[in-house]
Every structure is written in structure tokens, then in C-alpha cells.
Amino acid sequence: MVLPFLLGVRAQTVDLVDPTLMAFEAGLLALTLAWLYVGVRDYRFATKLAKQIKEIRELQDHMERKITGT
């Protein structure tokens, strides 16, 4: 960020078909897709787990009422 001010450089050319840049973009895309996959998988797991916890708590309450006789 400070380098252009120190060197007096005002413009920089970028080759958009540079193999290094394209490889970096592909790697970044792969990491992004992996991050999204893990996020969706964790969300699905959390919602499934919440449903199971709710069912288990209801069963626990039912068993407690049955044992205490109320």
C-alpha cells in the first residue's frame, strides 16, 4: 500500500492470462468451494442434531412424568 508512494509508481499492468495468476485464482476458487461445502454440511448437521435433541428432551419429559405418576 505504501510502496507506490515511495517509488512514485502510478500504474501497474496486469496480465490476466498469466499462468501463475490463473493457478492462484483456481486455488482460491477451490478453497472457497471447500469452505462453502463444509459450511452447508455443518449447517445440515446442526439442524438435524437440534431436531434429535428436541425429540430426546420430549421423550425424557414423558418418561419423567411416567415415573413420577403426574
**DSSP per-residue letters across 15-49:** -TT-HHHHHHHHHHHHHHHHHHHHHHHHHHHHHHH
DSSP designation for 14: -
Cell of 65: 412424568
On the question of pLDDT at 50 being above 80, the answer is: yes
Percent of the chain with pLDDT over 70: 99
In this predicted structure, what is the pLDDT of residue 70? 72
The CA radius of gyration of the chain, in Å to the nearest whole number, is 28
C-beta of residue 42 within 8 angstroms of C-beta of residue 49: no
Tell me if the pTM is above 0.85.
no
Backbone angles phi, psi at 18, to 5 degrees: -65, 130
